[in-house]
Chains A and B, each alone.
Chain A
Amino acid sequence: MKRLVINKIVLALSTLSAVLGLAFLAWILITLFVKGLSSFHLSLFVNDLINNGLRNLIIGQFILAGMASIIGIPLGMVAGIYIREYGRGRYANIIRNLSDIMMSAPSIVIGAFVYALVVVPTGHTSGFAGSIALAIMMIPIVISTTDSMLSLVPQELREAGIALGASKYKVIFDIVIKSAKVGIMTGILLAFARIVGETAPLLFTSQTSNYFTLDLTQAFPSLSVSIYDLASDVQTSSRDLAWAASFILTVMVLVINLTGKFITRNKK
């Protein structure tokens, strides 16, 4: 029967596609492990880039993403609360949709925006500019997470709180957010994982630096931006360092990402 043959072929091709997807994942990860580990050394965590180490870059990357979180998480959460709890009808819906669109906005465009907004007036690149660019990327992700996690809290819980005479604000903070806490925190962790590996928005906002610094008003060391510089360098030693840096960056991102997923799975 012809239709049975077609069926078999399609199912086989689908399975093959999944194998192909997994093969790409394996290929990339194995490449990273092999290339990364061969140039990996513990001294990378001790020296700064000027001495062929990655210490300043790793710390810098976390500070940039951390600053972005300090700006982005509260704004995103409060906006998410507005959309789900206070917003009525149209306006909240428009913001929800705009936030979704903003989430998919090209990150390089956000970089250009922050360049015009911060770098041009101040005259030079800075850690602050980089953090702002990352924060703009983070806000819509946090909004979407908060919004969907709050939507899982049953309406009866809010009504029960209101019926006890609590104000709406009290109900939101004491009841609604508490019961959605794990979900929101996981979402924030995943949002952090997403921005901590970003390169494009940092290219001309924070740039990168060969030296260790905590001064956010100056060009700021960034692991991802330095990977881009090192990887396109003609010297093999620089490229080897880029592989080690890529390995570290990917492990960082995947560990945070998997932690988030693990928490979600355990909760279910």
Chain B
Amino acid sequence: MTLMSIKKFSFTYPGADEPSLKNITLPIEKNKITALIGPSGCGKSTLLRSMNRIHDLYPGNKYDGKIELFNETSKKYENILDIKKENEFIELRQKVGMIFQKPTPFPMSIFDNVAYGLKIAGIKNKSELQDRVENALKGSALWKEVHDRLGKSAMGLSGGQQQRLCIARAVAVKPELLLFDEPTSALDPISTGAIEELLVELKKDITIAIVTHNMQQASRISDYTAFMYLGDLVEYDKTENIFLNPKEKQTEDYITGRFG
């Protein structure tokens, strides 16, 4: 089933004449990994950042169209572009988490990093916090490495560990959808491999959308792939179709490395 459905979506940055995203229609399927690929400047990150409206931290953006998110309780699709109130934004971001290009450990201990989202969501019970932090760290394959130094600063971890910590932090609040914005671009190949494995593991519980400039990565882990170019969605299909049997000439050129 479709968790998020993007319909005729356009996006314009403040002060820009031309929209950066034009008329995009794309489903994000539940418990699958959807990869957004394309040359830099194609708008893939802009699209990803629209999905939890993190753009709205900076004023003056213009949205058109619809981004509908399935609401588990009311069993209805709700347009997240209608959101105006602060508490609705907070709710949206608890449902739709995000991981960035570089690891972003907060200036606090490992435990507090993972517990942060839970604490601000109002969970105060110590044992519940402990359980959920432990589960999140286990789920991110980090528990073994850090269980004896949970009180230490997160800055002491390696880059790959920090990124998995950020994933654990996002997973701990049990989001429905996790957005990954080139999560491995700052990491070495071994750490990248560990994160890729983790993503495939995570999709059992969480739907994933990932922006990547690494086509091998997209083909290795994703179920669906969207190819974007200059703000347009050129082609969307099952990953094997995009890579083995692309319908559009542009997609084929990009996949085979003729540009980009």
Contact = CB atoms under 8 A, between A and B. Distances in A.
| A, B assembled together | yes
Interface string A1-17: 10110010000000000
A3 B120 CA distance: 8
A1 B90 CA distance: 11
Contacts, number: 7
Interface residues of B, number: 5
A51 B44 CA distance: 76
Contacts of A7: 86
Interface string B76-97: 0000000000110010000000
A3 B117 CA distance: 13
A224 to B, nearest CB: 44
Nearest to A1: B87
A196 B86 CA distance: 49
Nearest to B122: A3
Interface string B89-126: 01000000000000000000000000000001010000
Contacts of B122: 3
A175 B55 CA distance: 43
A20 B86 CA distance: 26
Contacts of A1: 87
B85 to A, nearest CB: 9
A174 B86 CA distance: 56
Interface in A1-51: 1, 3-4, 7
A3 B86 CA distance: 11
A3 B122 CA distance: 9
Contacts of A3: 120, 122
Nearest to B121: A3
Interface string A88-112: 0000000000000000000000000
Nearest to B120: A3
A7 B85 CA distance: 13
A4 B89 CA distance: 11
B91 to A, nearest CB: 10
Nearest to A3: B120
Interface in B118-136: 120, 122
Nearest to A8: B86
7 contacts: A1-B87, A3-B120, A3-B122, A4-B86, A4-B87, A4-B90, A7-B86
Which 7 A/B pairs are nearest by Cβ-Cβ distance? Answer: A4-B87, A1-B87, A4-B86, A3-B120, A7-B86, A3-B122, A4-B90
